[in-house]
Amino acid sequence: MDIVVTIILIGGLFFFAGGAIGIIRLPEFYCRLHAAGQLDTMGVLWTMAALALYVLDDFSLGAILTSLKIILIVFFLFITSPTATHAIVDAGVRAGLRPWRKRGAEE
Amino acid sequence: MPDQSRGNLNSEGQILAKDSPSPSNQKRKSLTSFILTFLASFVIWLILSGKFDLFHISLGIISCLIVAYTSADLLLPQQKLGHLIKVWLRFIRYLPWLLYQIFIANLHVMYLVLHPRMNQLIAPGIIRFKSKFSDEMSLFIFANSITLTPGTITVYVTVDGNYAVHAIDRKSGEPLPGEMEQRVANIMGE
């Protein structure tokens, strides 16, 4: 069980690391949001799944309640994360920041 | 207290009057939405409190009654109950497909980010298209599904279904609206 949990945790950390690298490497504001908003959501999903499995290892009422709370965290994050990303993008558009485009790329 | 609750039912009934004319039907409908709101908030109370003695449960019942009384028409807008349950079941069936898509797209963005020649691979741009949805719920589900799938972010949605989507490269943006729109349409039964 511990091995499975560790593997899933490492998978989540992989996505988190990808998100962080993406924020640094991508060229501009909108592209960076892709990495910031979404790879993080995936990382949270994996790490939370690992935590829920870890808690459920010794099976009891308290463990079930805790894992239900973890599922609630993931549920609310999946609603709020795209909304927040959208709000940031919208703020950028309203402030007049034009999306970067590669030279010679057609519309 | 009974006077107040009857007053609530009547004012609810006036809002509902467009859909169904008979008053007893309206009363029953707002009562079911009251009960469903109460049950949903009470289940969440039980999960979050985790204590099952008399004191905590009665506290939960009282506060859930207050919440359900004040906001029964927020959680469930005026719709037929059977239709609502069907929509929820179809939404749950939609989730595994969405998670699978998110996973694939995540791997794609990871590949882009970690690729040494990233700047040649990405081609950011804004895609505009018009979807066929008319009701707000499917517009909302579709917009959030687009944003959750990495590589695409919804920039704006208008009420009549005009979308602007920022895509990080051509491969992420091409499938839109496509299959995802079809699946969301299936959920809402359009």
Residue B129, classified by CB atoms within 10 Å of its CB into exposed (0-12), middle (13-18) or buried (19+), is middle
Q: Enter the tokens of residue B118.
A: 């990233």
What sections of B17-159 are H helices per DSSP? 23-49, 54-75, 81-114, 118-121, 136-148
Using CA atoms of B110, B125, A86, A34 in order, give the dihedral in degrees to the nearest 10.
Answer: 10
Give the tens place of pLDDT for each residue, A36-72: 877 888 888 889 989 888 888 877 878 888 888 888 8
A7 Cα to chain B: minimum distance (Å)? 16
Q: Of residues B105 and B1, which shows the higher confidence score?
A: B105
CB-based contact (8 Å) between A105 and chain B? Answer: yes
CB-based contact (8 Å) between A11 and chain B? Answer: no
Residues of B in contact with A47 (CB under 8 A): none
pTM (predicted TM-score): 0.70
The answer for A 51-70 residues in CB contact with B (under 8 A) is: 62, 65, 68-69
Instruction: Tell me what pLDDT residue B62 has.
Output: 92
Positive or negative CA dihedral for A53, A57, A59, A62? negative
B113 vs A22, A42, A72: nearest CB: A22
Residues of A in contact with B143 (CB under 8 A): 82, 86
The alpha carbon of B38 is separated from its chain's Cα centroid by a whole number of angstroms, namely 19
The rounded distance, in Å, linking the Cα atoms of A97 and A85 is 16
The rounded distance, in Å, linking the Cα atoms of B188 and B87 is 6
Could you tell me what percent of chain A has a pLDDT over 70?
93
Q: Of residues B15 and B172, which shows the higher confidence score?
A: B172
A62·B50 Cβ contact <8 A: yes
ipTM: 0.75
Confidence of residue B9 (pLDDT cuts 50, 70, 90): very low
Residue B157, classified by CB atoms within 10 Å of its CB into exposed (0-12), middle (13-18) or buried (19+), is buried
